[in-house]
Amino acid sequence: MSHSALWYPYAQMKTLEIQRKVVRAEGVMLEFENGEKLIDAISSWWCVIHGYNHPEINEAAISQIHQFAHVMLGGLSHEPAEKLAAKLVEITPEPLKHVFFADSGSVGMEVAMKMAIQYWSNQGKAEKKRFISLYRAYHGDTTGVMSISDPEESMHSLFHGSLLPQLFVPPPEGRKDLSCVEPALEALENTLKDYSAEVAAMVVEPLMQGAGNFNLYPERYLQEASQMCRDYGVLLIFDEVATGFGRTGTMFAADRAQVCPDIMTLSKALTAGYTGMSATLATEQVYNAFLGDSYEKAFMHGPTFMGNPTACAIALKSIEIFERENHLEKIAAIEAQLQEELGDLRAPGIVDVRVLGALGVVETRNRTDWEGIQEFAAERGVWLRPFDRVVYTMPPYIISSEQLSQITSVIREWFQP
């Protein structure tokens, strides 16, 4: 592939093999050039919650395109963006009242960071501009959010010197044993004690650190951390780019944890995999800090494609379907089935099996334990993409129980041929 015009993500182009070429996708199935059909076990990087080629979402997009595909949000407004903002305020925790749109998860998190910094500087506290983040965190690939992503995993060393110096604390690891919570909180409190005067916000992926090896951790941590942030005068930001829209079993991880952050970012499943978009939500308190008689206090951000009407129409339809189809019940059924079919999986090399909502994870000691799994799964009709020492499934919520069994069987067979 060394002469490919197309540069692929996270890939060594010199040795990359030919990629499977998708020609169609329907429901949970990906269809390839050679006629092969595979179940997408990971919802195209976790976003295709209603499956591919959904007739109603197609229709919503096409109908919006026929009216106007895009207009700028600078100096203009339109119903799709106004309606989506109101809908997001309605379905997220009560205190979140205002929505700022952008184009992707990374940019939505950049917006969250800038919002937190300007929140303090608008109040004369310009020195509060650093962030506390967790080891294993992943908040995206742009340079601002790379600085709050895990310093070892996110290529900090490669970009050393060009990233903002942030503060990292260990996350609680694992949900099964609450004893991980206390030491993690202690480390957080020590950091807050020493640095709160220069910290704008703490940033977390609530309950599930996605790209950080799918670390699942207890609600307790978020409840206590939230209180500590309040006590030390530090904002709390939830990155719900991956957890939003049902993935952990409730609409938002914030609901499951019963913690409301000051700022929350949504993306991935927001547009059901149709197009890039993010929403950064803020409480009244955060929003009010930007109000004033002068322009100076206004929030200084505005991406070209902000509030793109087609994306908004898609998101509105996706949320309507989510509510109408009662997806939370479907997710509970997926969780029970994943628990049933993977929960007791034991084999040499496996160090942990964990399930939460519509996420099932099998972790091995070495990444080499998974060498060849992708082809093995494809031969059995399933598209998987191992991630370091983990194989996981995050299926579209429309998956049938037979199709889900097909995914779990592939993982079981890998260990018990």
Ligand X SMILES: *Cc1c(COP(=O)(O)O)cnc(C)c1O
> What gap in Å lies between CA 311 and CA 69, rounded to an integer?
9
Give which of 270, 190, 251 is closest to 225, Cα–Cα: 190
Cβ distance to ligand X smaller for residue 136 or 139: 139
Q: Left if phi > 0, otherwise alpha if psi is -120 to 50, otherwise beta: which for 58?
A: alpha
Q: Which stretch binds ligand X (CB under 6 A): 12-20, 90-98, 132-140, 404-412?
A: 132-140
> What are the Cα distances from residue 395, in Å, to 54, 311, 356?
15, 22, 12
Among 40, 110, 224, 239, the residue binding ligand X under the rule CB under 6 A is 239
- Cβ proximity to ligand X: between 139 and 175 the closer is 139
Q: How far is the CB of 139 from ligand X (least distance, A)?
A: 5
Q: Single out the catalytic residue among 52, 119, 138, 397.
A: 138
Site for ligand X contains 140 (CB under 6 A): yes
Q: How far is the CB of 394 from ligand X (least distance, A)?
A: 10
Pick the binder of ligand X from 96, 109, 229, 410 (CB under 6 A): 109
Q: Where are the beta strands (DSSP E) in 107-224?
A: 130-134, 167-169, 199-204, 208-209, 215-216
Q: Where are the alpha helices (DSSP H) in 277-326?
A: 284-288, 309-324
Residue 328: Cβ-neighbour burial (10 angstroms; 0-12, 13-18, 19+): middle
110 binds ligand X (CB under 6 A): no
SS3 263: strand
Size of the residue set binding ligand X (CB under 6 A): 15
Window 177-206: residues binding ligand X (CB under 6 A): 205
> Which of 267, 280, 283, 318: binder of ligand X (CB under 6 A)?
267
Based on the shown chain and the rule CB under 6 A, indicate whether residue 383 belongs to the binding site for ligand X. Answer: no
Among positions 100, 120, 138, 274, the unique one binding ligand X when judged by CB under 6 A:
138
| 106 part of the interface to ligand X, by CB under 6 A | yes
10 has catalytic annotation: yes
* Active-site residue identified among 40, 103, 150, 239: 239
Considering beta carbons, is residue 88 or 289 the nearer one to ligand X?
Answer: 88
The CB-of-266 to ligand X minimum distance in angstroms stands at 10
Residue 239 is a catalytic residue: yes
Distance of alpha carbon 276 from alpha carbon 108, whole angstroms: 11
CA distance linking residue 167 with residue 159, whole number of Å: 17
Distance of CA 193 to the CA centre of its chain: 29
Question: Is 139 near ligand X (CB under 6 A)?
Answer: yes
> At closest approach, how far in Å is the CB of 402 from ligand X?
28
Q: What is the rounded CA–CA span in Å between residue 131 and residue 112?
A: 11
Residue 181 or residue 242: which is nearer to ligand X going by CB?
Answer: 242
Cα within 13 Å of Cα(417), Cβ side = 5
Choices 15-23, 105-113, 318-326, 390-398 (CB under 6 A): range interacting with ligand X: 105-113
Query: Which CB, 205 or 341, lies closer to ligand X?
Result: 205
Q: In what order do the strands lie in the sheet with 22-26?
A: 22-26, 29-32, 37-40, 382-383
Strands 199-204 and 167-169: unpaired
Stretch that binds ligand X, among 99-107, 225-233, 299-307, 403-411 (CB under 6 A): 99-107
Of 140 and 218, the one with the shorter C-beta distance to ligand X is 140
In the complex, minimum distance from the CB of residue 55 to ligand X, in angstroms, rounded to a whole number: 25
Please say which residue, 104 or 308, places its beta carbon nearer to ligand X.
Answer: 104
- With CA atoms as reference, report the closest residue to 215 among 361, 377, 372: 361
Q: Does 242 bind ligand X (CB under 6 A)?
A: yes
CB nearer to ligand X: give 8 or 68: 8
Q: Does 241 bind ligand X (CB under 6 A)?
A: yes
Strand ranges across the sheet with 390-393: 350-356, 359-364, 390-393
Neighbours of 132 (CB within 10 A): 26
Stretch that binds ligand X, among 26-34, 121-129, 134-142, 225-233 (CB under 6 A): 134-142
Give the residue among 135, 213, 227, 122 at the shortest CA–CA distance from 172.
Answer: 135
The answer to whether residue 212 forms part of the interface with ligand X (CB under 6 A) is no
CB atoms within 10 A of CB 371: 11
Q: Which positions are annotated as active-site residues?
A: 10, 138, 239, 268
Contact set with ligand X (CB under 6 A): 104-106, 109, 138-140, 205, 210-211, 239, 241-242, 267-268
